[in-house]
Chains A and B, each alone.
Chain A
Amino acid sequence: KNEVEQSPQNLTAQEGEFITINCSYSVGISALHWLQQHPGGGIVSLFMLSSGKKKHGRLIATINIQEKHSSLHITASHPRDSAVYICAVSRYGGSQGNLIFGKGTKLSVKP
């Protein structure tokens, strides 16, 4: 079993839909990261959180430390949101860059 599991693996949505991507992890962490990767390969860091909830524009990330679970929500989805979304965790006591990554969720938003 992977230490970071994401679901679903693939997600197709219609423009305007509310989207949720889930991440569960099995190790103690100091932070959880949500990343966005476009087809060219470059990665953009969306959120880094260790508790509670963060919001940026149409994106919302939540984390429940007790349940070892995080969700990424996209409200009013748009075709430009199409990308791979990756959950990654920094192991507690480890160096910040020592991330354990999920396999990613490929999101396709249709107009």
Chain B
Amino acid sequence: DAGVTQSPTHLIKTRGQHVTLRCSPISGHKSVSWYQQVLGQGPQFIFQYYEKEERGRGNFPDRFSARQFPNYSSELNVNALLLGDSALYLCASSLVGSGSLSYNSPLHFGNGTRLTVT
């Protein structure tokens, strides 16, 4: 089975532009989470979607938005890009989103999209 796939792998954008990052979860997984990892730091949580609904949101500005499609794939959108948005964007999927069942539902991460804003 294919793992979590993210596209594109690398991306270069200019300040003020918009970007869309994509994530396909493992088949059967209904939850997708997004993270931002700035160079030299640990990742930071951006969003979680489960069954096409937002289930969690981190401390990011409204320029960041996401959605989940009926096939459980997901997009992360960032508007009005800033230099500080340069980072590795990671996606992770799991079977469930929260609650007691999540204790046996580990996260599976993709290889990330490296975004450079110039």
Contacts and interface: CB of A to CB of B under 8 A. Distances in A.
A50 to B, nearest CB: 6
Contact of B56 (A31, A43, A95): A95
A107 interface: no
A43 B92 CA distance: 9
Contact of B96 (A41, A42, A96, A104): A96
Q: Is the interface of A mostly helix, strand, loop or mixed?
A: strand
Contact of A48 (B96, B106, B110, B114): B106
Contacts of A45: 106-109
A95 B50 contact: yes
Contact of A30 (B35, B43, B103, B109): B103
Nearest to A104: B42
Residue among A88, A97, A99, A100 with max Cβ neighbours from chain B (10 Å)? A97
B45 A99 contact: yes
Contacts of B35: 99, 101
B38 to A, nearest CB: 11
Interface in A39-83: 40-45, 48, 50
A97 B33 contact: yes
A94 interface: yes
Contacts of B92: 43, 97
B112 A97 contact: no
B106 A98 contact: no
Contact of A103 (B42, B96, B108): B42
A95 B98 CA distance: 5
A44 B103 CA distance: 17
B55 interface: yes
B42 A98 contact: no
Given A94-B98, A95-B50, A42 B43 contact: no
Interface of A: 4, 30-31, 33, 35, 40-45, 48, 50, 86, 88, 90, 94-104
Q: What are the nearest 3 A-B pairs in CB distance?
A: A97-B33, A101-B42, A97-B48
